[in-house]
Structure 1
């Protein structure tokens, strides 16, 4: 298995959009309801993760196929939150359990070390023991739970918030 962790490029837009749409359509990992088009993702991602942007995106590639990505993004719109970020990670189902998530998160957190970031947060829809374990592995700890905060697939879901000092 050869996995590279690299910055995103334009040709990643289609596979990254497909990957995220898989989670929209089939899971409660994200609370997005409607799939995105490549054009919708292009506008957001390139504006948000461009080379002069403050937030980071890393892409995992295995055997020349995009198999996952990890990001940091704005936690909230108010300026006082600017030194806090929300982190996210998405892996294709066949890339799970291979250590790729660990590689991606290590790269993401290392890249934030040079930024003016004080805290990283993760919001995890429950149940999701794999994601909780990955975050604990990197020193995140629970800071609370929002009960039945999101409704998807006709059911309400809890979200656990985890925090890490950077």
Structure 2
């Protein structure tokens, strides 16, 4: 099956929102507790891929449409953090990825490498061995763990912080 990776467009917001909202409503890998409206997602999509901005949003699609997205965002709002970025990748829950999540995330890393970015950070809700393995394959290393930092679905969840140097 063909798999294409490209820069996301506003027209992709509905598909991105469907994928993102599934994880919000059904999984602790995303710490949002309220699903996003389409209007919120459209505004969010518009913040990426701007001239002179290091923030990228990619989508992966096959013959059935968009099956995943990957992005990097501002790490923290203070100016000294501007050369650091947070990264994420999501594949639709009902898709057997067969490495497509890795390809999508790798394409994002290639874009980040072209930006004025010094470090990328991935936050992983534990346990999640598949995500840990993906991050390690792409050169991330464990730099910390936050015990029971978030509560979702009535349970506390810990996260691991992975870092990649560019």
TM-score interval, smaller chain: over 0.9
Q: Post-superposition, which runs of at least 4 consecutive aligned residues in structure 1 deviate over 4 A? A: none
Deviates more, 1:91-100 or 1:36-45: 91-100
Is 2:86 the counterpart of 1:97?
Answer: no
CA distance in structure 1 between the partners assigned to 2:120 and 2:78 by the alignment: 16
CA distance in structure 2 between the partners assigned to 1:115 and 1:51 by the alignment: 12
2:50 match: 51
- Tell me the CA shift for residue 64 of structure 1: 4.2
1:41 match: 41
CA distance in structure 1 between the partners assigned to 2:43 and 2:156 by the alignment: 30
TM-score of the pair, normalised by structure 1? 0.96
Structure 1 unaligned runs (5+)? none
Query: Cα deviations across residues 57-112 of structure 1 (Å, max 9, x unaligned)?
Result: 11000114100011000110010000000000000123343111111111101111
CA distance in structure 2 between the partners assigned to 1:43 and 1:68 by the alignment: 18
CA distance in structure 2 between the partners assigned to 1:95 and 1:140 by the alignment: 25
1:49 partner SS = coil
Aligned pairs, number? 165
CA distance in structure 2 between the partners assigned to 1:50 and 1:141 by the alignment: 27
CA distance in structure 1 between the partners assigned to 2:116 and 2:49 by the alignment: 17
| CA distance 1:134–1:59, shift in 2 (3 Å) | same
Q: Is the 8 A contact 2:54 2:117 kept in 1?
A: no
- Tell me the CA shift for residue 161 of structure 1: 0.2
CA distance in structure 1 between the partners assigned to 2:160 and 2:17 by the alignment: 25
- Tell me the CA shift for residue 19 of structure 1: 0.5
2:119 match: 119
Structure 2 unaligned runs (5+)? none
2:141 match: 141
**Aligned-pair RMSD on alpha carbons?**
1.0
- Tell me the CA shift for residue 142 of structure 1: 0.4
2:8 partner SS = coil
